[in-house]
């Protein structure tokens, strides 16, 4: 039992480091559904553990390799076996970023398991869906949007620019962005979503700055448009150019909004069915989000494969 202690301790260290490395930077945690995140994360951790076990066995079986890691000293067989798990753990954790060849292999393996978990395919697909899907706030919610504007930093004059109907006009695009922004503010009150905004406060602050910039652009555009009589606006080149520029600004913020909202929804969805329910509650019509439904099953199967590998390399009954 005493011989298993260093193996277990070093193995736990390797697993903890691999578990954290899988989602570094932390924003990766919200690029797929939670089930796919934890399944692929667990599979990657087991893969790293299998490599650690194989490396430890190789060190224990090779007196020359063990002596090299010990600084050229000659080691007794028992000492080499004791050194093996710690040396393997050191290579798999602290030294990993400093070994170009090994680090590159680990990066490729990490990318494979990210792809296996739908990272960032789920995020990209959901953000694209949110960006292109028609959205018009429901009648009861329209009043909430007006109330929110009246109680926020948004100029009250912009209330007159709201157009709650599906259209490609500048005002309809503006209304869509403001409506979804208010939806996001309402999500903050939900117990499940509240943690997302707290944990990713930097991303939330960046999103808020983006919205503030968008409101400044909208205020400037509508103030400029108001200076020209309605019957002359389409005839003036300057107004047409301003309208085109503002539509582009609406599209740019819509893209930022869709990405942020997609991350918030993924953080609070275990499976794609949860996402579809969230989208329905938000008012998106005819949404169908079924990204890579076979991914979780494939990930679970991969975990099984690596469990077999763990037995094959002898992690449960090591020779040292």
Q: Which two tokens stand for residue 92?
A: 């798999």
Look at phi and psi of residue 118 and say left if phi exceeds 0, alpha if psi is from -120 to 50, else beta. Answer: left
Give the model's pLDDT for residue 201: 94
Within a domain: 13: yes
Within a domain: 192: yes
Give the model's pLDDT for residue 317: 47
Burial 231-245 (b: 16+ CB within 10 A, else e): eebeeeeebeebbee
Which H or E element spans position 76?
none
**In Å, how far are 63, 162, 259, 278 from 165, measured between CA atoms?**
76, 9, 23, 22
Q: Tell me the mean pLDDT in the region 56-68.
A: 66
Q: Which ranges of 155-227 does DSSP label H, i.e. alpha helix?
A: 170-187, 191-199, 201-226
Same domain, 299 and 166: no
Of 57-61, 121-125, 289-293, the least confident: 289-293
Within a domain: 318: no
What domain range is 205 assigned to?
A: 123-282
Q: How confident is the model at residue 43 (pLDDT cuts 50, 70, 90)?
A: confident
Number of separate domains in the chain: 2
Total-model pTM = 0.84
Q: Tell me the mean pLDDT in the region 93-107.
A: 79
Q: How confident is the model at residue 152 (pLDDT cuts 50, 70, 90)?
A: very high
Burial class (CB in 10 A: 0-12, 13-18, 19+), 255: middle
Same domain, 102 and 167: no
Q: Tell me the mean pLDDT in the region 14-24.
A: 91
Q: How confident is the model at residue 1 (pLDDT cuts 50, 70, 90)?
A: very low
Within a domain: 64: yes
Q: Tell me the mean pLDDT in the region 27-36.
A: 89
pLDDT digits (tens, 9 = 90+) for 252-272: 999 999 999 999 999 999 988
Same domain, 243 and 309: no
pLDDT digits (tens, 9 = 90+) for 121-141: 889 999 998 999 889 998 889
Give the distance from CA 241 to its chain's centroid. 37
246 contacts 221 by C-beta, under 8 angstroms: yes
């Amino acid at each position: 039992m005493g011989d298993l202690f260093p193996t277990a301790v070093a193995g736990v260290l390797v697993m903890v480091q691999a578990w954290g490395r899988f989602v570094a930077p932390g924003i990766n945690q919200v690029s797929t559904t939670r089930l796919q995140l934890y399944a692929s994360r667990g599979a990657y951790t087991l893969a790293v553990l299998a490599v650690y076990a194989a490396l430890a066995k190789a060190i224990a079986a090779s007196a020359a390799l063990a002596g090299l890691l010990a600084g050229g000293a000659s080691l007794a067989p028992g000492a080499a076996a004791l050194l093996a798990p710690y040396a393997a753990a050191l290579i798999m954790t602290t030294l990993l970023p400093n070994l170009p060849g090994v680090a590159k292999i680990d990066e490729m393996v990490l990318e494979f398991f990210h792809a296996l978990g739908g990272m960032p395919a789920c995020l990209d697909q959901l953000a694209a869906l949110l960006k292109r899907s028609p959205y018009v706030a429901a009648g009861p919610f329209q009043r909430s949007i007006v109330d929110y504007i009246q109680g926020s930093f948004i100029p009250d004059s912009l209330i007159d620019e709201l157009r709650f109907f599906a259209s490609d006009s500048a005002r309809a695009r503006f209304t869509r962005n403001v409506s979804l922004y208010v939806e996001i503010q309402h999500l903050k009150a939900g117990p499940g979503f509240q943690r997302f905004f707290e944990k990713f406060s930097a991303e939330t602050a960046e999103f808020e700055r983006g919205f503030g910039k968008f409101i400044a652009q909208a205020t400037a555009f509508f103030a400029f448009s108001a200076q020209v009589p309605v019957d002359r606006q389409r005839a003036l080149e300057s107004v047409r150019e301003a309208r085109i520029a503002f539509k582009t600004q609406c599209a740019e913020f819509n893209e930022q909004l869709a990405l942020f909202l997609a991350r918030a929804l993924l953080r609070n969805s275990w499976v794609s069915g949860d996402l579809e329910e969230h989208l329905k509650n938000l008012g998106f019509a005819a949404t169908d989000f079924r990204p890579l439904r076979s991914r979780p099953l494939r990930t679970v199967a991969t975990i099984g494969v690596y469990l077999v590998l763990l037995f094959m390399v002898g992690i449960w009954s090591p020779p040292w």
